[in-house]
Amino acid sequence: MKKRISLLILTLLTFALAACSQNNLPNSKTTKNEKANAVFKIGAIPDQNAADLEKGMTAVANYLQEKTGLKVEFVPSVDYAALVTGFQRGDIHLAWFGGLTSVQARNRVPGAQSIIQRPNDAKFHSVFITRTDSGINSIADLKGKSFTFGSESSTSGHLMPRYYLLESGINPEQDFDGKPNFSGSHDTTYKLIESGAFQAGALNEEVWQKAVKEGKVNPKKVKVFYTTPAFYDYNWTINSNVDEVFGKGTKEKVKDALLSYNGDQKEIAELFQTNKFIETKNDNYDKIQKVAKELKIIK
């Protein structure tokens, strides 16, 4: 009798534990309630002044919220890698990436898509800068000089400048005065050159032009001595999980909202330096992926 009771208790405990385990398993399908309360999180590579980025991206969040009806929030990232990781985890649903980081993110998230860019992102350039009194007038003059890139994960601040340096016969690991520096952001790059901390550097052409226009850098002290050929760069990349988390059609809803932007939101216009967005696709960044593989920046 005692043996039967023990077996019964053991059986009941087994069923109870199994039920608890099932209740603790993550639900593969988001419920309607969860969809209604979910926050659509957007991010951006921290490639320039943090205050300017926060201001502009918060404006984008408000704009998307108004146009789509989603609860939208901008989540700052400490560096490029952190944004890619957040996107990979599914915590970031839409990200403003550079060409290289968009490729890295899509490689880690099957089904993610680069959907929107600015018109000029189809023909983007990097600029090489130096002090006007440096005596540097061409890439060949960089031999034996100190040099700074931007972030290691930057397309216009590192990947493509490195590629064009190598094409011009300059090996950044051998031909500079010491190893190249990585400033972390485009605005830091022009400040380092203007201060004389480094003799030359490479950065995003748009950030440079905006800095000159706003008087943040003195063109009498710093000049552009080389502009790269055009390449595809920045884009909005959307995560593959958005329709599941927020409901079917969310990707198209977000895409349409970005395409409806017409430049009348001051903070967005100031950050992105454009009055409209256009469609793009993953294939446009094939060259970025090819160059990154050649340079062993990605596998």
- For 2-62, the DSSP string reads HHHHHHHHHHHHHHHHHHHHHHHSPPSS--HHHHHH-EEEEEE---S-HHHHHHHHHHHHH
In this predicted structure, the answer to whether residue 17 has a pLDDT above a threshold of 60 is no
Confidence of residue 238 (pLDDT cuts 50, 70, 90): very high
- Using pLDDT thresholds of 50, 70 and 90, give the confidence band for residue 18: very low
Tokens of 289: 């992926």
pLDDT of residue 34: 66
> Distance between CA 136 and CA 53 in Å, rounded?
32
What token pair was written down for 216? 């943040």
Show the domains of the chain with their CATH numbers: 32-120+233-284 (3.40.190.10), 125-227 (3.40.190.10)
Q: How confident is the model at residue 97 (pLDDT cuts 50, 70, 90)?
A: very high
- The mean pLDDT of the chain is 90
SS3 92: coil
Question: What does the pLDDT look like over 121-176, one tens digit per residue?
Answer: 999 999 999 999 999 999 999 999 999 999 999 999 999 999 999 999 999 999 99
CA–CA separation, 140 and 146 (whole Å) = 13
Please state at what angle helix 186-195 crosses helix 205-213, rounded to 10 degrees: 60
Tell me the three state secondary structure of residue 124: strand
CA gap 176, 128 in Å, rounded:
14
pLDDT tier, 48 (very low <50, low <70, confident <90, very high otherwise): confident
- What DSSP element (H or E) covers 238? strand 235-238
Is-above-0.75 flag for pTM?
yes
pLDDT at 15: 40
Q: What is the 3-state secondary structure (H, E, C) of 149-212?
A: ECCCCCHHHHHHHHHHHHHCCCCCCCCCCCCCEECCCHHHHHHHHHHCCCCEEEEEHHHHHHHH
